[in-house]
Amino acid sequence: MSTHNADSITIKNLEAALAGESMAHIKYMYFAQVCRAAGDEETAQAFEATAAQEVQHAFGHMDLLFPKAQLDPAKCLELAIEGETYEYTEMYPNFRHMAVQEQHDAAVAEFDEQIEESKEHAAQFKAVLEKAAKRFNALTKVEERHANHYRAALERVNALQEKCA
Ligand SMILES: [Fe+2]
Ligand SMILES: [Fe+2]
């Protein structure tokens, strides 16, 4: 889902590294919950501190996969819609199918829930994108008004200069 050549091994490795670091973050936050529930605050904090560093590692991979110079809010929303749509149209339905075959009922229920969630997220991002598009159009109109204003001023100045010449 990056903006790069999907055949590059390094891009695939960066995507795998991004997935790994992201997962490490979530795992450590989860382990921190386990430690805190067991009354081990010190270990909980050690996990949380490391989890925060994993986010920075993941951001580093994001910088290479999705350079900020190539992104704007509309592009970010498009990528997010693409990702969520993939989740609810392909990924989770495939996972669900396999879970049914393996009779893993809890996983089936989990995937069903995630299909609904991803659908909702995609719809929410689409709504934000539509609103943003209107804002962008409004800005374009303001710019157009400014340009017309300057053009009129320039014509006035030119007319004045012709008169003086
Ligand atoms: Fe890391
Ligand atoms: Fe989501």
- Separation of CA 111 and ligand 1 centre (Å): 28
Assess whether pLDDT exceeds 80 at residue 143. no
Alpha carbon distances (Å) from 50 to 19, 34, 53, 72, 106: 16, 15, 5, 30, 30
- Separation of CA 88 and ligand 2 centre (Å): 9
pTM, entire model: 0.76
Cα 146 to Cα 76: distance, rounded to the nearest angstrom: 28
- Separation of CA 156 and ligand 2 centre (Å): 55
Assess whether pLDDT exceeds 90 at residue 17. yes
Planar angle of CA 61, 4, 128, nearest 5 degrees: 80
Assess whether pLDDT exceeds 90 at residue 42. yes
Identify whether the C-beta of residue 54 lies closer than 8 Å to the C-beta of residue 17: no
Cα 140 to Cα 146: distance, rounded to the nearest angstrom: 10
Cα 131 to Cα 137: distance, rounded to the nearest angstrom: 10
Neighbours of ion ligand 1 (CB under 5 A): 21, 54, 57
Angle between helices 9-37 and 41-65 (to 10 degrees): 160
Q: How confident is the model at residue 161 (pLDDT cuts 50, 70, 90)?
A: confident
Assess whether pLDDT exceeds 90 at residue 49. yes
